[in-house]
Chain A
Amino acid sequence: MDYQIFIGLEIHIQLLTKTKIFCGCPNRFGDEPNTNVCPVCLGYPGVLPSLNEEAVKKSYLVARALNCRLSEKAVFERKNYFYPDMPKNYQITQYASPCGLGGTMDIDLGDGNIKTIRFHDVHLEEDAGKMIHTPYQSRLDYNRAGTPLLEIVTEPDLESGEEAELFLQQFQRMVRYLGVTDANMEEGSMRCDANISLNERGKGLGRKVEIKNLNSSRFVKKALEYEAKRQAKVLKSGGTVEQETRLWDEGQNRSAGMRSKENAHDYRYFPEPDLPPFAPGPEFLAGVDDLMVELPLNRKQRLREAHGLNDQQLDFIIAEKTTADFFEAAVQAGAPAQAAASWLGSDIQKLLNRDGLTLDESPLTPGRMAELVNLVEKDRISNKMGKEVLEILFQEDKDPEAIVKERGMEQVADQGELTAVVEQVFTAHPQVVEAVRAGEQRQIGFLMGQIMKATGGSANPKIAQKILQEKLEAGR
């Protein structure tokens, strides 16, 4: 039986704003518990929400990037339910009239396969606090309560765990490009729930199961693959899949139905009387569009066409906007694209990792990189020497030209100078020269070694080789 798999994702991203969505408390991760709190985000008697304009801007930036239809008026609503980490025991969210409706995003499945994923909506809401369980007690930290959250819901267009993982990774990349969020699943600035259903091919959607507690895109893939197998088994044996919420168990690598059967929630949504609707006008949208950036997939395509780089190189470059920006700036400064891509992906990345730095934090600038790459490309220094220069650059924060000059690293390329050296070597080792001329090619290595030794390693190997060959030939 060939089952069709339908997967939809519900993604939450915490928006990067200075303050929380409805109050002036710092929007910051990792502080002492209950320090970034105030009467508003603690749901005190007499408080009211006040809408953060930066949260609104960033929401619409995402909605635009996802090609959503914008609601004429975005209306906030109260979603009513009780939970200890909810200060008001209702969440202010959007429901009937969110910021963005519909929307699409292209994802790169590899090998030139592009798939379009549709969205259901994009809406703005507030995050809850955190509850930690200890024996006999639960502890509550409301630092996170009131953090602006953007919820993005896809249509069930994904067809496998692998696809879902790819989508999530590329979505994460895109929202980071926009600068709206850190989208870090380990820190909780991006969270993902999945729903999946199976059905006989062509029969439409099946009975869906929701999966929670997915703490990385890898687990999203694993959980969905597990779930697809589990549901297929149920269907094959003639059963029906129970519509429920299941939690992914990382330790046991399986999903399990939740112990406490959650009562079907009746959220009793109604429009939030404390917040007027938000109608994005042309001026506001123009401001949002000013913040728009070239999205990763588009950038990849453009760079492929402009520089003929391969997928692996491109994926590395566009993985982060700072890398892509850096790359393009370096090319702009004169670095050949292929070489720049190569350096970025290997030696530069190694040093950044070793020193725990980002490109922006490092002493390397696009200009300096262009300089370095060209030194090697133009044969003024060897590749090996280039790596050394890079290392010194990281340590001493100097321009490559300066480093090369200071240390006299420039390869000797002068014909006359090298010819003289070759002749010296010939004079010093006549037997070896004879042996090579007689046919013992391996001894060329020795001669080259001597030439390098005599020049302190700075002979341009290609030129030295050429002169050596010429001299060898000449003596026959």
Chain B
Amino acid sequence: MGRKYLLGNEAIAHACMESGVDFVSGYPGTPSSEVIDVLRVQQDRTYYVEWSVNEKVALENALSAAWCGVRALCTMKHVGLNVAADPLMTSAYTGVTAGLVIMSADDPFAHSSQNEQDTRCYAHFARIPCLDPASIQEAHDMIPEAFRLSEEFGLPVLFRPTTRICHSKGDVELGEPVAGLRKGEFHKDPRQYVVIPAHTRILHKKLNEKQSGIRKRLVERGLNRHSIKGKTAIIASGIGFTYVQELLPEGVSFMKIGAYPIDDDWLRDFVQKHEKILVVEELAPEVEEAVRQVSGIVAVLGKKNGYGSYDGELSPFAVAEIMEKAGFLKKNPYIKGEPVQNLPPRPPILCAGCLHRGAFYAIKKVFKDAIYPSDIGCYTLGLQLGVVDTTICMGAAITVASGISHAGDPRDIVCTIGDSTFLHTGIQGLLNAVYNGANITVVILDNRITAMTGHQPNPNSGMTASGVESPAVSLDAICRSCGVSFVESVNPYDITGMVTVLQDAKKRKGVKVIIAKQMCVISARRAGIKRGSYQVNPEICTGCGTCVRFGCPAIEFEDEKARINDLCSGCAVCAQLCPVGAIAREGKK
């Protein structure tokens, strides 16, 4: 197939096709989303592909497919693995018939995440193999390896690229795609698939018996390897390996860890040939702990004794600094490079014309002194507008709201949650809130798409991952069937209408749901919807700043007057806010 310049996730997706994958499921999450986004748009694909409603659902689907003898891939971000942890832990007991690769993409530095957890710890916990690539090419090459290992040991295999693999680019040598033509067939075997205590005790023993074979095989396959050059050594994993590689001095032994569990006999043999070992890895000290287990009197330098950090991501500079401190480099060849200070920041911001901004404005207008639990999506950016007080994990807006309600805080509680997040893990929270009599207002921000991660369809979009039409779920009916009697749909571009409904909700007790419906402005633009644009009449504008405080990137303020730039998408919300009527559609006076 030759060489291509690809994003890490594109290379991973291609490797899945080269491995003849038959079944693909997952839930979007940065930095993992592009793998399925690539797989779902392939013409003439022979595999099944779905966006599932959450990661637990995705993994259970993929697991049972692998039980039926078809190769399955399941993708998610690291925190998605928490949602899928329940099936994950026991899938190691039941095992699989055909390969099951679970891609859980880690995000050191939390570029786009709520925490910096390390998927390698889950692999350790579940006692399943984990592959940890150091480059895009290696990520690509590890996928067929992961399927083979999964089939050899009859276990799911975790594949753990990080943001710097998924969202890096490089020239990658690709193989030919292979049609996945296996036909699934479920063979009944209750001792394998029904984990009652009598069965599961035996399955646990079998899982433990597999461990030493796995450790040896990972070395035999070259996933863990080393070269001995002297009396001191560096052991590195993940992206940190490439940073060390670029700086490695002559005469220093080098070990690469690309897979777990690490074979302790092999590791001991290497460590004992040296006087000093430096371990370089991101996040948890997984490798370091293994090295310390076998080090005896050999000096081990790692994050446990101040060589490296438990948080954040590695950079070439940080690695050089660690190598200098540990005596492997005379001097750090890089400079820290301080950026120019006091420049106005440019954080991500809700788009011009985003429905969320109008909804947040209306919420703040009606509920001035309220508590605002929120959730995970573009609308978390409502933090900048002062309407996001909490965000913990997917689906936690409604549960946090009901918890605060029962804790006795007398203020109004208004929580916000997106449509995809509501369908992911929000429904249970709503059901619980109604059942237990919470006093909360829930605003579902319904833009009909999973926008933040790149516009993936969900059950509310009217189509599946592969573009096949499917009936869009009724959020209204879901809420009513959870027992909510006050369910109103509003257009968040119509501030007066939304304010009226919110005022009504404010007067009532119990759980009230307001569905703020409007298409994502990016989807609207792609669909060719044109609403024109708005302008400020400088003769009428008094420079009061009401529209500027609305926080839309299309509104600027110059020489004591507001001005609308070419980002305007014509939502018309600012025109409704202007107290003197200075904003009107372009071309109209």
Instruction: Say whether A and B bind each other.
Output: no
